[in-house]
Amino acid sequence: MEKTGLKRSSVAALLALCAACLPPAVHAGKAPRFSDEPEVKDFIVFMHKVHGFDAAHLSRHFAAIRPNATVLRAIRPAAVPEQQRSWQRYRERFVNDRRTEGGLRFWQANERVLRRAEAIYGVPAEIVVAIIGVETEYGRNMGSFKVMEALASLAFHYPPRAAFFREELEQFLLLARENGISPLDINGSYAGAIGIPQFMPSSQRRFAVDFDGDDRIDLRHSVGDAVGSVGRFLQQHGWQSGEPVAVPARVAANATAETGIKPALTLQELAARGVVVTAAAGDALRPAALVDLVTPDAATEYWAGFENFYVITRYNRSSFYAMSVFQLAEALRERRTLDLTPRSENLATKIE
C-alpha cells in the first residue's frame, strides 16, 4: 500500500481522540433525544420561567432532535498538520473568479437596494456584497443543518463554548416565536447561522432590519433585508464611512510591534517600531493593527489594519476572514468600475 504520511498507529490514535471528544451515545450512533437530558430539562424550565414558553410544547420540540455528531466534529479545530491555518489556502476559497463573477451579477441585480443601504449606513456596496459572497456565495449555500439541533448539540455537548451556544439557542427560540415559525423548520450552518448573510440568532434579533418594507424581517428569502442588515450590523459596530480598511505593510527584521486585529498604535508609532506601510494611508496618527497572514512554508504577509478592518472582524473574529472580505470587495469594485467605463475609454487606456 502507498504511504499516507501517517502511521497506522497515529491514525488510530487520532480517530480514538476524536471519538473521545464526543459523548459515548453520540459517536456510537445511539444518541438519546435531547428531551431526555437533565441539562435540557433545566433549560426548558428556564425558558418557561423567563420567557413564558409552554414547557410541554418546547419539550416536544427537543424530543424531535438528537445530538448531531457532524456538528460536533465540524466545530473543533483541525487536529492534523495538513489542516493547519494557511492564508493562501483560505484566500483561494473566497477571492477567486467564481465569487467575483457571482458578486458582479449580484451587485447588478440588486444595485438599487445596495445603493440605498450605502446611503443610510455608510458602508460601501462592495463590502456588503463581499460579505454575502464569502458567507453564502450570494445566497446559494445557506446551510442544510437544522438550526435548533445544531445549536442544542453545541450548547449541551461542546463544553468549550457551551455558554455562548446556550445563549444563541435561547435567542433562536425567541426569534422563531416572534416570527411565528416552528424552530424545527429553520435550516442554517453547523454553528447555527441563518440566511443569506448568515446571522447568528442574537445578531438577527439585535441588528437585522426590514429593508424591503414588507413589515417582517426575513434573512432567508429577502435579499433586501439581508443587504440592509449587513449594512446596519457594520454601522452599529463602528464602521467609519469613507475611511480605509487596510494597506500592505513591510516589517523590519528587528521590528518590535506585536500583531493583532484591534488598532492599538498609530502608523507613526508602528513606523518607530519597524513597521512601515507601503501604500498611501493618510494621517500618520491613524490607529492601526499589525495584521500577519501566515502560510506554512511561505513568507508571512503583513498589513496595517485600520478601524474598518477591525469592524469586519466583528462579523467573524478572524484576520483571514476580514482580509478575504476586503480583497474580494476590492476585486469587485475594480471589476465593476472597469465594466462601467465606456468602451472607448477602456481602449484609450490600453493604448496608452
- Residues involved in catalysis: 135
Q: Which long-range contacts (CB under 8 A, 24 or more apart) does 218-222 make?
A: 219/194, 219/195, 220/142, 220/186, 220/194, 220/195, 220/196, 222/196
Q: What is the identity of the amino acid at 226?
A: A
DSSP characters for 30-79? Answer: -PPPGGGSHHHHHHHHHHHHHH---HHHHHHHHHT----HHHHHHTSPP-
DSSP single-letter state for residue 259: B
Q: How far apart are the two ends of the chain, measured CA to CA in Å?
A: 59
List helix spans (H) across 208-253.
223-236
Radius of gyration of the chain (CA): 23
Cα–Cα distances in angstroms (integers) from residue 76 to residues 21, 105, 161, in the given order? 9, 35, 11
| Cα separation, 195 vs 202, whole angstroms | 13
Residue with cell 420540540: 61
Cell numbers placing 211: 429593508
DSSP helix/strand/coil, 1: coil
Q: What is the identity of the amino acid at 242?
A: G
Residue with cell 442554517: 188
Candidates 25, 39, 23, 313; CA nearest to 165 is 39
